Every structure is written in C-alpha cells, then in structure tokens.
C-alpha cells in the first residue's frame, strides 16, 4: 500500500484532501495517512480529517511514502518544497479524475490539478504548479514552476507564465500573452499582452498597481 501525506493543512490543504479522496477511490492501492503542517492545531475545528502527523522539518522519510503539495502561495510553496526535498521523499502529482488532459501535455512533479479543469494539447506545466478548479489551459502554453492559478482562470493558447506567477479567480491571459516571474494577476483581470516580472496588475485591461 502506498501512503500519501498532504503538505499544508490550511484551506487549500483541506480542499486537496477532498480531491485526493476522489483519486484514491479509483486507485485503491493508495491511502491518505495525514497532513504535514507546522501548526499542530490547524485542523482542530474540522473533525473527520486525518491527523497532522508531523511538522515540515520533522517529517521522516518512510517506505512507500509520497508527499502532496497543498500550498497555494507560490513563495511559501517554494520554501516548503525546498525544505522537504532534502529528505528524498518523492512528490506526488495529483490530477483529479474529472480533469480533461489533451495529447502531449507535459505535467511536472508535485503538480496539483483540481476538478473540472481542461488541460489542452502540446503544453507544459512546471513542477509544483497549482491549478485550481474549473480552469482552462490552452494549447502551446507554458506554466512555470510554483505558479498558482485560482479557480476559473483562463490561460489561452500560446501563453507563457514564468516561475511563481499567481492568478486570482476568473483571471484571463489572452493568446500569446506573457506574465513575468513572480507577477500577480488580480481576480477578474484580463492580460492583453505582457506583465513585467514582480508586477501586480488588476482590471480590464490589466494595469499595474504595484511592483
């Protein structure tokens, strides 16, 4: 039996638990053991969930154990992954059973793709990217490592998102748009062409509000 440990016990971690349960229902050789999280009381108000079994730094490798990254913030996610990678425990890539995946899509290590998302053909999703529910990822796109798409985002054909991009709910990047390293696209915004590295943009069309 292969064992799954969810890294992160916040709101997104609880969501990932639900989606992972769906996946395990059709893959019965896997079980969810618990959460890895630094705040021991994080799940006290949520009965019925598996326990928090370890802190991040205190996690000890076990036979047939896999980690599932359930941290949405790109910066925090990268930090936690760095701390755990040294333990030589593999990270699991979760693709919910309801996700549609096209031909020749390359999906990296530790990626989480939530329900009702459509992943088109001839694209690349980098390691530890997070794609929340009901997103659409167009053909020939590239989504950088550690990036996070909130629910209902639309990344259209030929788009490039560099490493660590964050997109708020219902954000859109139009065809062949480019969002730079560490940039943020606000909820409901529409990127027409480019967003510079580190910028935060908002609106229709999306305009810089900070850097």
- pLDDT (tens digit per residue) in 45-65: 999 999 999 999 999 988 999
Q: Which CATH architecture fits 95-193? A: 3 Solenoid (2.160)
List the domain boundaries for the chain: 2-92, 95-193
Yes or no: say if 192 and 209 are a contact pair by the CB < 8 Å rule.
Answer: no
Q: Could you give the CA distance from residue 9 to residue 171 in angstroms, rounded to a whole number?
A: 26
Query: In this predicted model, what pLDDT tens digit does every residue of 15-36 receive, in sequence order?
Result: 999 999 999 999 999 999 999 9
Strands 142-143 and 160-161: parallel
Task: Give start and end residues of each alpha helix (H) in the chain.
Answer: 11-25, 74-85
The helix/strand/coil state of 53 is strand
CATH 3.40.50.720 holds for 2-92: no
Specify the DSSP element, H or E, that contains 136: strand 136-137
pTM for the full model? 0.97
pLDDT band at 86 (very low <50, low <70, confident <90, very high): confident
Task: Please answer whether residues 175 and 185 qualify as being in contact, where contact means their C-beta atoms are separated by less than 8 angstroms.
Answer: no
> What mean pLDDT is predicted for residues 113-133?
98
Q: What angle do CA 70, 18, 60 make, to 5 degrees?
A: 45
**94 phi and psi angles, rounded to 5 deg:** -100, 115
φ, ψ for residue 78 (rounded to 5)? -65, -40
Direct distance between the N- and C-terminal alpha carbons of the chain, in angstroms, rounded to an integer = 48
CB 202 within 8 A of CB 183: no
For residue 211, the model assigns a pLDDT of 55
Residue 16, Cβ neighbours under 10 Å: how many? 27
Cα–Cα distance measured from residue 203 to residue 26, given in angstroms and rounded to the nearest whole number: 41
For 152-166, what is the mean pLDDT?
98
E-only strand ranges, 2-64: 2-7, 30-36, 52-54
């Amino acid at each position: 039996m292969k064992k799954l440990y969810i890294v992160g016990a916040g709101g997104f971690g609880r969501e990932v638990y639900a989606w992972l349960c769906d996946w395990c229902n059709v893959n019965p050789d896997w079980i969810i053991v618990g959460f890895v999280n630094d705040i021991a009381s994080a799940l006290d108000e949520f009965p019925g969930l598996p326990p928090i079994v370890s802190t991040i730094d205190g996690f000890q490798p076990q036979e047939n154990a896999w980690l599932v990254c359930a941290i949405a913030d790109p910066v925090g996610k990268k930090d936690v992954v760095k701390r755990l990678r040294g333990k030589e425990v593999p990270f699991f890539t979760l693709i919910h059973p309801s996700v549609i995946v096209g031909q020749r899509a390359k999906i990296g290590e530790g990626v989480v793709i939530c329900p009702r998302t459509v992943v088109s053909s001839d694209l690349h999703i980098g390691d530890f990217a997070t794609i929340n529910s009901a997103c659409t990822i167009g053909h020939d796109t590239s989504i950088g490592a550690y990036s996070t798409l909130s629910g209902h985002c639309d990344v259209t054909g030929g788009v490039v998102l560099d490493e660590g991009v964050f997109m708020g709910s219902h954000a859109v990047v139009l065809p062949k748009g480019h969002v730079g390293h560490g940039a943020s696209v606000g909820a409901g915004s529409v990127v027409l062409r480019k967003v510079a590295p580190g910028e935060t943009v908002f609106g229709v069309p999306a305009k810089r509000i900070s850097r």
